[in-house]
Every structure is written in structure tokens, then in C-alpha cells.
Structure 1
């Protein structure tokens, strides 16, 4: 979400943009409610509402709106009937609206500020958030309002309400080979990246350009930083079980969405044997970390870890999609 609005702000400074937003879905479709794509006056796009013929239809409608300024819904039929080209099995409704620098840039900048500062508002951010409201009529414009509603987009009073939440943060503890590749893969998957390693020659901004923070302090000195970060995921990919023990002692006092630890089964058992922590906390640990995809290289292990992060975040099963056929 943050990357999209940053791109939208940059585009608005150059050209008017049509913002396409999925507002409702039925059946099997490629994207969820709230998925967005922008189409600028120079024909460039960013984001996706699912690709294929449906997205092509939206693109063509957007080019017309760039000329007329008319807001409209576009229905995407993916039922696979003779009259359609999509075969996903469902339908999507997409709202198209013209955004310009003069009308909307200030709102976009506010959204970017909310999403950026929200990383440091801690638990308070989770209780009381701001949402962008998109009315579905020709006169009203999108606006912000305070909300205590679900983090999922909702339709209410003929408008789409989307809570503005910062992206999930992944703390990578260990700046070795796996951590190096995991930072790149997880960034692509939408995670904000923090890297920690007391070895300052490994943990550097130059080596981890995708990281928002690179920490080299002793483990006991970073607790205060981590306490302020909501929606925190942790991957322990340290160089040894001694570092794992230190990290787990510190992390046991934090609220985490996920914690995984790299290592062989023997290393994991050794860590658990030496831990003197609440058994409930130990049961939360995914160890050995990652999904079983036969990963061997650091690059493959990074993909395996990121797959498990997505599974936990989105509530997946981790089984092959073909097994459900």
C-alpha cells in the first residue's frame, strides 16, 4: 500500500491519473477488494487488478476517463462463458476515478505520512486508525476519516472504506548469506525490512539497501526500538545457537505476528533445551524455519522462509494448489 501511494504521488506531479480499485468480488477472481492499479495520461500503469482481458478492459475505459473525467464502475466477467475471455470463475466490480495533482495530491501525501509514521505508533496504531473513504457518486471526493473498523476493506453507505495500516515489518536477525537474500525477497513480498547483527562489517546499509533500519547494537539495546513497531515478524537466521538464545530471551517480551528460527533439528532441540522461557512462547516458534520445498542454497532457503511468512500473514495452508483440484 505504501509503495503504491508513493508511486501515485510521483505520477500525479507529472500527469493526471485514473485510479482503478476493486470494490467487490464474487466467486474465484485474481485480486481482492481494495486491489489497485493506476493508469496515467501517458499510458503507463502501476499495480494490477489481475491482468488478462479484464485488466485490458479497465485500461481502455481508463483512457476514456482521462478525456471525459467521468467516474464509473466497470464489471469484469471471468466466468468463462462464451461472451467472456476470463476463466477464473467469478466476477469483479472495479471503480474508476480521475485523480489530479490539484484535486488529490494533498490527500495522497497525507496517506503516505500516515502509512510511514504508523510504523512507530505501536499498539495505539492498531486500536484507532485512519481510513480512506471513496464515495461512489459523481459529486463527492475521496477523504480521510477516523475508524475503529476491521483492517479489511468494507462497503458502507455506498462507499469503500479502507483502513490505512503500515506494511508488516520483518526483523531479520543475522546478516549472513540467508539474511542477505531474505531481505531482498521479503521486500518484494511487501514487508518493511529491519536487519540486526552485532557484526558491523556484515550489517551495513550498503549491503542491505532495502532495509529501513540496520542495527548493530547489542541485542538488549534494541528492545525499545522493536516495542514501537506494530505487526512485527521475526526471522532468526543467526550464525549460531548462542545468538539464538540471546535473541529469544529478548523477543519473548514482545508481541509478534510470527517468529521463525533457522537450523537443523539438532540445533533447534539444543536451543529449546537451554531456554528457560514460557512454554507458550516456545510453541509459537516456527523451527526449523520455512516451508519444505527442498531448499538447499541460501537463495532457495530465503524463498522458503518468505513463503512461510506469506502463509502466516494470509492464512494459507502451504499445500500445492494442484492438490485442491
Structure 2
């Protein structure tokens, strides 16, 4: 958990100014931990700080804050979680709401290039600064410090069979931003694991162009023909890593076919096949 500047910048780019609400501190029992945040804009929101009346009132206050003038607008509130809110946690939370527009995001982007942590006062006015290392949100002396969230590596997994499912189950806990591609919605588990973006495509090779150039790709589909099409298209697209499920014999055939399709040996060698460590066995 941390300050996700990438997500914030994306929302500001689409919706304009937003308010980021973060739980700055908790006392006693609370629905979510310090550092939990959500984003609110004029006609929408994303994330949650725990739901209920606490969140409802925080969203209403955030929308009022959006309408106030000035730079680095902030609102700090201490909220007891008792019967008045219809919540029986019995503790209390402190909320910091901050308005972020393009100028503020640009300022934070410059700051994040040289600092791993963010510190700012809970009152409107002063711009944020770098902070001493802190593993989580920390409120002290009228300032809130948070670590910047590490950028997630985009990982595209093709195939929702038993191997694809096993990979997603493991990879989702390792800090990847996973896009899971298959030809049929019925092949995905229900419910989907948290944080996974499913992508249903009759021809998965046609969606490769939407992957960012720094993405990693794992090809584990049910079809050798589809595997080959994906390898062919990925080799024509910028990528960080590509791995293909299969045996050494399969890869020998694929190398020959990819060469016939016009790919140079040095480019073909960028695909890893087989994938995995043989000494660990064949279990996904």
C-alpha cells in the first residue's frame, strides 16, 4: 500500500481534478488501515475507505472541496466511528482529502523522481516535499508521510486453462498488473481473482497491440496455432519478456515457422521456451 501516482495521473488525465481521500491514522478498531485511499471526481469515484456512512460523508465533503479555489487544497478530519455514523467499530479515523489536478500531478512526478516517500502538511497551502523512509502512512506533527507505491509491471497472460489459472494465482501476489486474455468468457474462473483485468478476444493476437511496450507476456493457450500467432505478433511489438509453454521439440518447430514468417534468429531468441525450472517438476 502506498501513494499510487500512476493511478492518480491516469484518473486526472481522464476526469480532470480529483480528490484523493486517504486514511491518515486510525485509533482502535477501524474498517480499513492507515494508508487506504480512494479517488473522487465530479461524477465518479474509485476505490474505497471502508464503505458505510463514513465513506458517504467523505465523498460528499470531497466534492465540496473540488469547488474551492487555491493550490494544494486539503481538508483534514477526525471521525469517531460510533453510533452517530451507524458504525459500531468503536475506534476513530483521521482522513486527509487533497485536490489533485494536472499541475499538482506534475509537481509530484518531479518529486517522485528523486524521493521514495511523500510528506505534506494536513492544511492547505504548502507543496509536498520528500520524506524520511516510512513503510506505511504516518501522521506526525501535522504532516502526513506516505511511501510512493512501486509501479506494477504489466503482465499479459494468454490462456485461462489450468496453467493460466495457476500462473494468475501465483503472480497476483507478486506485484504484477495482470491482463488475462482468452477467447471465451466461460473459461475464466468465477469470481475472478482481485486486481485482474480480463480481456475476451476471439483472436487474442489482435489485442497484443494494446499491451504497453514494457509488458511481459506468458503464452499458455490451448492451441499450438494460437500460440504461434501470438509469438509472431509479439515479436513485431515492443516487449520486456515473452515466454511460451512447450517442449524443446515444439520450440524447434516454432523457431522454423517464425523464421519463415520473416523474424531474424536474434529476435526469435527473445522468446523463452520452454518456461519454468525443470528441476521443480511439471506442476504449474
Give TM-score, length-normalised by structure 1. Answer: 0.50
Offset of residue 3 of structure 1: 9.7
> Relative to structure 1, is the Cα distance of residues 129 and 202 closer, same or farther in structure 2, using a 3 angstrom cutoff?
farther
Name structure 2 gaps, 5 residues minimum.
Answer: 179-215, 247-275
Deviation sequence 1:96-137 (CA, Å, 0-9, x none): 1222222x12134447x75xxxxxxxxxxxxx9611112212
Structure 1: gaps (5+ residues): 115-127, 219-242, 249-260, 264-288, 290-325
Find runs of 4+ consecutive structure 1 residues off by over 4 angstroms. 1-4, 167-172, 182-190, 193-200, 202-207
Q: Which has the higher contact order (CA 8 A, sep 6+)?
A: 2
**1:107·1:143 contact (CA, 8 Å) conserved in 2?**
no
Displacement after TM superposition at 1:75 (Å): 2.9
Name the CA distance, whole Å, in 1 between partners of 2:29 and 2:74: 26
Structure 1 residues 32 and 186, CA, compared in 2 at 3 Å: closer, same or farther? farther
The residue number in structure 1 matching 2:58 is 58
Partner of 2:80: 77
Give the C-alpha shift of residue 189 in structure 1: 6.2
2:2–2:148 CA contact under 8 A, matched in 1: no
> Do the aligned residues in 2 keep the contact of 1:72 with 1:97 (CA within 8 Å)?
yes
Q: What's the C-alpha RMSD, in Å, of the aligned pairs?
A: 4.4
Which structure: larger Rg?
2
C-alpha deviation, 1:37, in angstroms: 1.1
Asked whether the equivalents of residues 132 and 143 of structure 1 are also in contact (C-alpha less than 8 Å), the reply is: yes
Match of 2:242 among 193, 214, 236: 214
* TM-score (ref. length: structure 2): 0.56
| Deviations 1:36-83, CA, capped at 9 Å, x for gaps | 11111x22111211111110010011111111245222233323x3x2
- Flag the 1:108–1:90 CA change in 2: closer, same or farther, 3 A: same
Matches of 1:101 and 1:171 in 2, distance apart? 28
- Give secondary structure in 2 for the equivalent of 1:95: strand
Q: Distance in 1 between matches of 2:30 and 2:171?
A: 25
The residue that corresponds to 2:100 in the other structure is 99
Which secondary structure does the structure 2 equivalent of 1:20 belong to?
Answer: strand
